[in-house]
Structure 1
Amino acid sequence: MEKIKLSKGQVLHKKGDSVSTLEILLAGALTLTDGDDVEVNLGSGSIVGPAYAPAETYRFDYIAREESTLIVLDYESEDDIVEAVTGTPAIAPVIAAASMEAAVKMLNALSSAADSAAELCKDIKYNYNEYQFMCVQLQQQPENFVFISALAAPEPAGTTAGWEADLCRAFCDRRALLEKEFYPLDTTFCLATVMRAASIERKICGQLEDMLSFINNTKLIAKPFTEAFYAVKSRVDTNARSDSDAAPLIHNALDMILAFSGVDTDIADAFRKDIKTYTEVEDRWAKSDEMRRLRMSIADGFYRVYEAAFFKSMETSLIPAEVRMFFLFGFVDETLAGAANTEYLYRTAVGWENDPEGQILCLYDWLQKIYQGEAVPSKNEFDNDWPESLREDVRTGVLTQQQADELLVDNRAMVSFEIRNMFTSANKATYGRLASFVPVFNAQDVVRPLEKSIASPTLVRAAFDKVLAVDFGCFYRPTLTSFSEFKIPHFVYNAEVRPYVILMPNFGSRGLMWQEIEGMRRVTPAHMMLSIFHSEDLDATIVHMCALFRWEMCRRIQGVRYADISEPSLTSEYMNYLQFYRKNGYLSSDIKERIKLTLQKARNDYKTVFVADYEKYIQSEAYGMPKLNKIAREILFKYCTFSQRFRAERGHSPQYQPLMDRWNVAHNTRTHNLDLILRKIQRMNPDAVPAELLGEIKFVNL
């Protein structure tokens, strides 16, 4: 006899190991599991081993559910069970009670498995009828799956409803009374109870193993039919997609998604089990270690399934509605999402309208754009883009140069890079609550009606237009070119490059400015991310994202001199103002104190202060509600000048009159210079005026 301790998650016995010991659980808890559908929790006093004969093999894994202490005894014959109970009279009553509790839990597991087997057979037969009906709709000959007509669930085991089951449940119902008045009378009563429970468990283990084998074998045999069924259903859904008013009943959506993706059975089973467990949890925001591990496991499975399903969708134009909902919203299960939400998601998915300009995209469309070579992947968390990431892998020996050269133009590898880097990080960040994040759509996350939260391309574009109506130059950036044919070696003009806005499949609260350019070229679009269901004010979030873009783009243009006041820029002047505000004679003592408190609140992060001021500038100052001090207003007006409409409205106010006077001088000078260049070019060749010059003339008049 020896005493051992197990840490949480440590394996006591694995399925297939030989039985040679008995273990009495003194403290803690164990879990008996098949690794998939069956989980039976064993509490203090449970004895592991009597359900098997010596030298048999364990049919299940036994894993510590928490830190546990056990007594280990040799097990060579039934006499060792007798010795284990009678040799520990102080805890024999607890052992007896726990043995019957374990037997009842095994009975419940067997009953649940029998129900699952019956439900599986019922679903296959129902789907087969649906399959034949849909084939008629499509005017095609249905395949004949002979095994389905003969498919029948195993008869429920008599053990679950016989006298032995009643006996076990009666022992558990009367546990307190038995422990107080029956078991203490003689350890023989305890021993008899343990032996009876062990005998019942032996029967249950065999029946449970047979039931689980039936379920797994049936799924395997039915796989060809399942693929045929979902292929036909995809075509029916595609044909019906134009009729978005008809919302069919979504049933077994997860099975459809997994079947479409074609992921390995191990991945599919583990993901299905995790979703089932998560669905049954009441508080899905709980921060326990078990929930944290479950969320991590769900996230890992989700991204694997998403990647596999995406590549499968590139091979066919027939995408089931459930899979479309999965791509757009992270939907995986109708129970987890709720019936009303599921119906809304379906209607939104089938009626989804893409952005006509192709700049505001759901994640699926963005990945498709990368796959087709029309866009490049985003940077990863180390700020490396796709080529830089490959160079790093070559440097560290992960890849050879030849492999890196091949991957550089491999669009499939680019999509995988995007999913495993940007998608996994941005999906979590836009969600907002990092500690409770799961990538699947969950009814408990819906804190605002879906129809009021949807961030459709139309609404997102309208929100950006509101910002650009004030700060017209937000997405313009200075670009250098030359017109050698007109003897103009240097010409700086402003080019507008609208960002890509990628809608993450979650219900979140944050917007991200992921990167300001692609690679090293300044005339490439920024990448911004936003939840497709946004719980906060969409207009305010877009203003925040534009503020971040303004700051980061200026830093990119200025390079290492972004803080050098000798080279004036938005960042250098703003940082100089915040660093030396105490010495600024234009600021009153009250304003200086407010700036001090603002910096403390922002932890001396100048970008955070700028973003807050930019939001006030766009949302308040532009509409005649002064919120900024004189210096902040002057810098913002200089580099984020109001559009023509707001200059006319605010230009005569005391706060903006001096700023407008200075701006008019600079504007007239620039207009005059452009006019001179235009006249020069028109004299030389009036039909060949560069588009860059015409665009710049238009820009200065906005």
Structure 2
Amino acid sequence: MPETRNLKQGEILFIQGGNPDRIYMLQDGEIEILSAPAEFAGLDKNIIIDKSARVFSLKGKSMLLGFSGLLASPYTRSARAVTASQVVEYPLPQGGFRGIAGREMNTSINMLRQLFNNFMNAQAHMKKTVSAYVRLCQVDDNMALAHSSLAKGSGPDPVVKKSDDLRTLFNMNRGTIPSIITVDFLLEDRSAQFRKSYTEKIAMDSLVPEYADLAKRVLKLDPQIIATMLKADSDIALSLFTAITRGFDRMLDNTSAIMEKFEQKIKTFFDGPGSWAEYFTAMDGLKDWSSRGGLASDFQSGLARLMQRLEAMALEVSGKGFGRFDGYNKLLNMLAGRGERSVAAANEPAEAEGDFAGAPSVISTGLQKSIFQIFEFAMVEKEFQNRLLKMLNDFKMSKNPFGTESDERKMRRFITQMYWDLYKQVFVRSKIESTTPRAAKLMLNYGFLDDTMLTPEQIAELNDLARMRERQPEFPVYSEYEFLSMIYNGDEEPSITEMGLAYDAFLREQEKYQKKNKGEENTEDPNSPMSKTLHEISQRLASTAAVCSGGTATAFPILTAELVKGSFKNLYQNKHAVSEIIKKLRDIDFSVFYRETVLRLDSAREVIEEEVVPYFVLLPIYGTKTLLWQEISGNNKRSLGRIMIPVFFAGELEKSLMHTLACYRWELNRSMKGAMWADPIEGGISGEYFDYVNTFKKNSRLSPEMKEQISLRFKSLRTNRDRFAADYMLWVEFEREGIMKLNNVVREMFFKHIPFKKETREILENMPAYSKYAGRYKNVQAREIAAFERKFKKYQNDAGEYPAEIEKFFEYLKI
């Protein structure tokens, strides 16, 4: 009989060299597959695990197959729980898979499908591992190239030799180095100029592609057809299982070899006297680099973010971060501990991005017992204080405060509810009192509450952030407190609720509810500025904070050292930096913020398109996601949408915002088109894409292989909006450079509705895959401009000039 087994994090399920006696089916959680060199087989399991590296992992419901021939030979890998996991164990019949294939046809078919699915997932993981290794190689070589320009001849011997050799090759191939080096310089692929291929000596073969394709096609057949085949020749099942397992095993060997190279490359960054970390920290390498004035002012903070991105990439493929190397920790501390101006102080004016200089890393900040300062300012009742203090104490004493068990989740939910109640009261008091204590300001802007929940260094950093001078952003980027103040001052209406209700509609629903419950009437004026603002905190802020934190199950709005690892300064998103990312994305997709509006010219009314940029609100939380909350307010076509960004963001903000802008495009088009949004002719981009999703299987322009790829991809994306966003990201990130990632149907659709700027279109026009669409776009654009010129000719003055709004519209049409 099957048995359910709950694995704790880190618990071993089976060990390399052990003999299988069970079939394991993962129900929930994540299991990593580990590989150790063959010479450690038969030794103590702790030694085997210590010498192992991750080569693959399984998540969700999946069968652990492919690690033991026909389930009759010793395991070639080990399996360990990455998270708390649940596994169902089935007794293994005598003879392993051979015994199952002879007696249980349906079970053997299911096992073959599960095995092949593991093979495909492991193949994807190997490719991801290769990409991670290549990225490290690129950064390493580019740092050496930068070194040859900024500090030639200085540093450790390995660094000097490598930088000189690469510079020689680079010059021979007519490479040029920019006068100002940014962090983006470190990410570019210069393998052609270096005359090298980062993947040249990496083995990628496993299963012959034709055989893999055959196995895939066979296993996709109806189970009854497969059963008929296996009954006719029982050795087919054994042959398939053996071939896939051998290919799988060969692929995991290749991944293991790649992981060894990956580990060695990491050491060139962080381990030993010849590493980059040693050069930058012990030998003041960044001072050498900055002394000639060739570094961008934000290089130091950008380098810190790059190192953290590389670590996240390493964690994903290997399960190990860089924190095990002292060099990495020293480097991050050095990059975080100095101000932005330490690198370029001799060459940059004092108005740089923000001023972190001044105080040492650990100082007396005046934030001791901060929670009591906040209680006192908010004037909350003693009973409320005691309840929150007790809950926070339970949280601090918990062994796993961010666990997913019901008790931990219930505790966090109660604290979160009380926290937002306290946040409301602090906001109210900030509008009444003439001065607001520093602790309360940090709460309103960053999610700070209790100084004992953060390290002294983190508190000092928050203190620095509070004093930081912000540049005026080009786009409407606001802190949460500033945005709430706009609602309080009557400059903006409250956001829609989670159910999509505008404030007026919400009040009508409340009125209906109060009529049924007469004793619960609210005596406060619902249209008062404070009522509207408190509604905004309850409905929009609390909801978006939970979603943007990364997951509602583990969401927590209060800053804690347990939640936020590392430096706040490296995670902090200032307004100018966010605005620059928006500008970059808008420069690629120039029409993203344009919408139809009605222009009033005296008694005349004309429909044109105007750019209406949404609000970007910096939520006072630590998070990993950006979110479109609303694309428009009510029926006002000139109203600004609302996009949420955690003020402390972990991850690639540009990619996250790219996805969010795709959602913005989708929802805005739906709002503008109304009931016709899904019409393939009148519905614009949403209508055409909706039609494509529903009819791609019948589309003669798509090959059978492409249809199958689309079908598989759509299965992993729940909604049409998510599918559109995934394609949009490929369009913006790759297709603008002529790197084809989309099929021809979507490419034509996007070229029509999401065009690039003229200079980009002209480059793409010379490529066969785009020339037809570019020519068609050019013809449509010319006809459209001519039609509007005829239509708006009556508004020209004697000098032939149009009103400013129409002039701007024509400029947009000609982009």
Q: Give the equivalent residue in structure 1 for 2:460.
A: 343
Correspondence 1:609 to 2:723: yes
Matched to 1:694, the amino acid is: E
Q: 1:373 to 1:492 in 2, by over 3 A?
A: same
- What secondary structure is seen at the aligned counterpart in 2 of 1:479? strand
From the superposition, tell whether residues 273 and 350 of structure 1 become closer, same or farther in structure 2 (CA, over 3 Å): farther
Cα distance, 1:371 vs. partner?
0.6
Cα distance between partner residues in 2 of 1:309 and 1:482: 43
* Amino acid of the structure 2 residue aligned with 1:431: S
1:391 is matched with which residue: 492, 498, 508? 508
In the alignment, structure 1 residue 308 sits paired with structure 2 residue 425:
yes
User: Could you say which residue in structure 2 is the equivalent of 1:370?
Assistant: 487
- The answer to whether residue 747 in structure 2 is matched with residue 629 in structure 1 is no
Question: CA–CA distance in 1 between the matches of 2:800 and 2:377?
Answer: 57
> Does the 8 A contact of 2:676 with 2:682 survive in 1?
yes
Counterparts of 1:361 and 1:329 in 2: how far apart (Å)? 13
**Which residue pairs with 1:174 in the alignment?**
none
Pick from 360, 375, 386: which aligns with 1:269?
A: 386
How far has the Cα of 1:689 moved from its partner? 3.6
**Alignment partner of 1:657 out of 763, 771, 787:** 771
Q: Does structure 1 retain, via aligned residues, the 8 Å contact 2:617–2:643?
A: yes
**The residue matched to 1:444 in structure 2 has which SS?**
coil
Among 584, 601, 612, which residue is 1:466 paired with? 584
Q: How does 1:168-567 map to 2 (within 5 A)?
A: 245-246=358-359, 248-249=364-365, 250-351=367-468, 353=470, 355-356=472-473, 359-398=476-515, 407=525, 409-447=527-565, 449-483=567-601, 489=604, 491-567=606-682
Per-residue Cα deviation, 1:161-214 (whole angstroms, up to 9, x for no partner) = xxxxxxxxxxxxxxxxxxxxxxxxxxxxxxxxxxxxxxxxxxxxxxxxxxxxxx
TM-score normalized by the length of structure 1? 0.62
* Contact 1:387–1:408 under 8 Å retained in 2: no
**Per-residue displacement from partner, 1:65-111 (whole Å, max 9, x unpaired)?**
xxxxxxxxxxxxxxxxxxxxxxxxxxxxxxxxxxxxxxxxxxxxxxx
Aligned partner of 1:691 in structure 2 is: 804
Tell whether the 8 Å contact from 2:548 to 2:626 is kept in structure 1 after alignment: yes
Give CA-to-partner distance per residue, 1:273-321, whole Å, 9 cap, x none. 2222222334221223332222122112211111111111112342222
Distance apart, 1:352 and its partner CA: 5.2
Q: Is 2:442–2:448's contact at 8 Å kept on the other side of the alignment?
A: yes
Task: Output the CA distance in 1 between the equivalents of 2:500 and 2:619.
Answer: 20
Q: How far does residue 651 in structure 1 lie from its aligned partner after superposition?
A: 2.5
Deviation at 1:331, TM superposition (A): 0.9
Q: Indicate how the Cα distance of structure 1 residues 560 and 455 shifts in structure 2: closer, same or farther if over 3 A, else same.
A: same
CA apart distance, 1:404 = 9.6
CA separation of 1:395 and 1:319: change in aligned 2, threshold 3 A: same
CA distance in 1, matches of 2:442, 2:488: 20
1:282 & 1:404 partners in 2: Cα distance?
42
Work out the CA distance in 1 between the residues paired with 2:522 and 2:799: 49
- Whole-angstrom distance in 1 between the partners of 2:479 and 2:716: 35
TM-aligned CA distance change 1:482 to 1:261, over 3 Å: closer
Measure, in 1, the Cα distance between the counterparts of 2:591 and 2:525: 38
Task: Give 1:366 shift.
Answer: 1.0
8 Å CA contact 1:394–1:404 kept in 2: the answer is no
Distance 2:672 2:659 in 1: 20
1:609 maps to amino acid: R
Q: CA deviation at 1:433?
A: 2.5
Aligned amino acid, residue 454 of structure 1: Y
Q: What is the match of residue 134 of structure 1? A: none
Structure 2 unaligned residues grouped into runs of 5+: 1-353
Secondary structure (helix, strand or coil) at the match of 1:661 reads: helix
Amino acid at match of 1:586: R
Matching residue of 1:89: none
Offset, 1:356 = 4.2
Q: 1:674 and 2:788 equivalent?
A: yes
Deviations 1:355-410 (A, max 9, x none): 5457211211111111111111111111111111111122333599xx99984531
Aligned to 1:397, what secondary structure does the other structure show? helix
User: How far is the alpha carbon of 1:682 from its aligned partner?
Assistant: 2.4
Aligned with 2:768: secondary structure?
coil
- Give the match for residue 143 of structure 2: none
- Counterpart position of 1:105: none
- Could you say what secondary structure the match of 2:558 adopts? coil
Once residues 755 and 484 of structure 2 are traced to their aligned partners in structure 1, the CA distance between those partners, rounded to angstroms, is 36
Whole-Å Cα distance in 1 between the matches of residues 589 and 747 of structure 2?
Answer: 13
| Counterparts in 2 of 1:414 and 1:593: CA distance versus 1, 3 Å | same
Compared CA separation, residues 290 and 679, structure 1 to 2 (3 A) = closer
One-letter identity of the residue aligned with 1:691:
A
Aligned partner of residue 493 in structure 1, secondary structure: strand
Q: Tell me which moved more, 282-291 or 391-400.
A: 391-400
Q: CA deviation at 1:679?
A: 4.0
Shift of 1:257: 1.2
Q: Is the 8 A contact 1:497 1:524 kept in 2?
A: yes
**Per-residue deviation, residues 311-363 of structure 1 (Å, max 9, x unmatched):** 11112342222111111111111221211111111111221527545721121
2:689 aligned to which of 574, 583, 586:
574
Distance 2:707 2:770 in 1: 21
Scaled by the length of structure 2, the TM-score of the pair is 0.53
C-alpha change, 1:352 and 1:512, in structure 2 (3 Å) is farther
CA contact (8 A) 2:355 2:469 kept: no
Deviations 1:460-499 (A, max 9, x none): 11111111111100010012335466xxx55221111111
Return the alpha-carbon distance in structure 1 between the equivalents of residues 526 and 765 of structure 2. Answer: 52
Aligned residues: 455
Q: What amino acid does structure 1 have at the position aligned with 2:541?
A: F
Listed one character per residue, the Cα deviations across residues 636-692 of structure 1 (whole Å, up to 9, x for unaligned) are 111111022322332221122111111111111122233334543225x55984222
